[in-house]
Structures are given as C-alpha cells and as structure tokens.
Amino acid sequence: MTGRLIKLEFNNMENKQKETYSGPRDPFLTLVSWEASEYEHFEKSSDWYWAVGIIACGFFIVAIILKNFLFAIISILGGFGLALYGSREPKIVSFAITSRGLKIDNNLFTYDTLKSFWLNYDPPHVKELYVISKKAMLPQITIPLGKADPNEIREHLIKFIEEKHTDEPLSHIIARFLRF
C-alpha cells in the first residue's frame, strides 16, 4: 500500500514521555491511481489575447454608452482575468479509486455521495471520467484520464456505483472549440 506517512504524538501523563507512531495516512485500499493535468492546456497565440481584449473593450464601450459603470468595470476585469487564466499552466493532480471512494488530491468523495459515472473516451480529443454527485453544489465532477486505462477504471468503479450515460457538458465543448 502506498501513501504518505503522518506522525502522531501521544502524551503519557504519568512519566511525561512522548511516544510516536508513524502509520499510513490513507488506511484504505487504493484500487487504481493515476496523475493527469487538471485540464487540457492549449497554447494561445497573440491573436487569442487580442480577441479577448477586443471583446472586453467592446463590452466596456457598450456599458459606457448605456451608462452602466459597474458593468464597464466588470467587463475590463473579466477580460483581464480571462487572459490571465488562459495563460496559466495546469497543475498535475493525482486521482485514485479506493475502497472508500474517489480521491482527487487530498479530497475524498465517498461512494455514498456519488450517483453514477460515465467514461467519455474518444482519443485524442476527449479522455474524461464524468461522476455524478448527490451534492447540490457539485453535481458533476469531470476527471481527466491522462494515460490511465479506462477499462481498468470502469472495472473498479462499476463495483461501487452505477454506470449511466452522461453527455459532455456544453461548457466543455465550447471551451475546447475556443481552445481555452
């Protein structure tokens, strides 16, 4: 079993000695694990940044004409934020299917909070796992597969949650089209 070790210290009240215990941080079985970028990164040309700037300035001008100064400020800040986010490199995230749930970095989504899953595997364009959650604030979790074997992931997940067809979110299709 792989995992990080943590060190716990216990105080012995009688003789004031400290005993240490090093044990596995994750006391449950990891069935399959992989790493992948948090999202697919597209290199952006200067034309992409110009387009974002022109659209943001267009919204800014419309907002000034309509005398909506709050929208004008939001347009400029939104364009600037979009350009910054577009230039950001994705971080590498670790994923694991365990005996207790789905682990994404240090977050564990237990199987009792998950409804279903669907593997959307159409290389080289789409290699993602969609997990439908019972939580209202996080209804769908999209997990990139990276170089993980989708058959192995399916084999383990189907033991714990239902496999149900889920369409790719429209926002993902638009983002891929805009190379965001």
Tell me the pLDDT tens digit for each residue of 9-68.
444 444 444 343 344 455 678 888 899 888 777 888 889 899 999 999 999 999 999 999
Residues spanned by the domain of 61:
46-87
Q: Same domain for 71 and 101?
A: no
Q: Same domain for 60 and 143?
A: no
CA–centroid distance for 17 within its chain: 44
Round to whole Å and give the CA distance between 131 and 172.
15
Q: Same domain for 137 and 113?
A: yes
Q: Same domain for 133 and 108?
A: yes
Q: How many structural domains does the chain have?
A: 2
Q: Same domain for 152 and 74?
A: no
Q: Same domain for 73 and 109?
A: no
Residue 140 lies in a domain: yes
Residue 118 lies in a domain: yes
Q: Give the tens place of pLDDT for each residue, 100-140.
A: 989 988 888 899 999 999 998 887 778 889 999 988 888 88
Q: Same domain for 125 and 59?
A: no
The pLDDT score that the predictor gives to residue 25 is: 55
Residue 73 lies in a domain: yes
Distances (CA, A) of 129 to 16, 97, 112, 136, 137: 51, 12, 18, 19, 19
Q: Same domain for 113 and 148?
A: yes
Round to whole Å and give the CA distance between 119 and 166.
8
Residue 159 lies in a domain: yes
Q: Same domain for 63 and 101?
A: no
For residue 4, is it left (φ>0), alpha (ψ between -120 and 50) or beta? beta
Round to whole Å and give the CA distance between 37 and 48.
22
Whether 167 and 142 have beta carbons less than 8 Å apart is answered as: no
Single-letter residue type at 155: E
Q: Same domain for 104 and 81?
A: no
Residue 17 lies in a domain: no
Q: Give the tens place of pLDDT for each residue, 64-92.
A: 999 999 999 999 999 999 999 888 888 99
Q: Same domain for 134 and 74?
A: no
| E-state strands within the chain | 5-11, 18-24, 30-37, 92-98, 101-104, 107-110, 114-122, 126-133, 140-144, 162-163
Q: Same domain for 83 and 100?
A: no
Round to whole Å and give the CA distance between 40 and 144.
8
CATH of the domain at 135: 2.30.29
Round to whole Å and give the CA distance between 10 and 118.
45
